[in-house]
Structure 1
């Protein structure tokens, strides 16, 4: 239920430490199954520009640096909300399922080169080990979950899905969108404090896992609860896969 998501967001928001740049919950009201959250307004708050501007992308990466430092280990305030390891509710096995025929390739976009399935399945098989960790992840760090304030600083919003894993995993989808907008995502990733010691294979395993998940999900029948979700999922799958292809020297 959507109401349960808002209740969970309220619980998590209240447990975030003060140094995390996130708007704060002020009140919660419930009536006849409806849940309303009152959250601080961000002064001059607006979504980052599309395509990504370099200064706003830098501000977002800086905000995540503060967030990752504060959440490098689960603070006591968050330990009681029942955080699970990333992937605890299921495996990213979509490329492997496609490669062995358990999922029909018809779910994929027409532009997808099927001769890459085995390579993608092999990379994907290492995702769980690659992203394992004990840090708290936002787990939905996207352009539309960020607000830029009047001074140009970034705020991270919508804390519905935190889990445990390696801090750098939060950067993968965010920087895939930056790659799509012409930024050097790999350099931005390797320069970020959370990515110290992360190998090429670890990043590529994460990109493979996310691209398979999103492209397969995007090929499912339309969802009446969100009429544009399949289009969005397919786009997320494409930007992650194209970043991976650029890193691997694949062309399609």
Structure 2
């Protein structure tokens, strides 16, 4: 009888322990307007680790540096200065520090290196774009080989710049010619080019070649995480953390 009561007491204690180990974690996401909820083992993880892990994976699906936007207008060109580089570098260092300090669950620790590489890539693209506008000779030295052709005309002559701009527009039209709306797109692009050429050819050539040509070229050379892989990792993480208790409720827009 005494032995039976002891076993019963132990089982009861185990049940209480199991209950106290489970904590409920809730959060909202900004991607699909969904509410998430699940119970996790507080002996293995903390709520802060879960929050940081979600932040880590979400940061791999978005931009992490927002202080600099490449000029899209002549007004934007006029405001561009090396202060943009100072702000960018400060933001970059802070973003790297914040990412490195994230305390995450073991299942996603490998993704921290991906985030650091992604931030490095964003910084490189933005830094080189600023240099392309303000110090093209230095940008040429630091740029990927495949992107240098966008910079070289600016170290030659305005005639070379205008020639390169025209080639860039013609290549853009040709690339979009496969669309069923190719005629309309061609007319729109050519009309815009002719209008810009008539009003301020030097500045519009800079925007076309440096923001869209050079900037996009560098962006294609730097590291970008596989967003499909990151999304799957996010789903798997929640299954691992919360098991069958994981519930999602999404709003209808």
TM-score, normalised relative to structure 1: 0.26
> Taking CA–CA contacts closer than 8 Å with sequence separation of 6 or more, which of the two structures ends up with the larger relative contact order?
2
TM-score, normalised relative to structure 2: 0.26
Larger of the two Rg values belongs to structure: 2
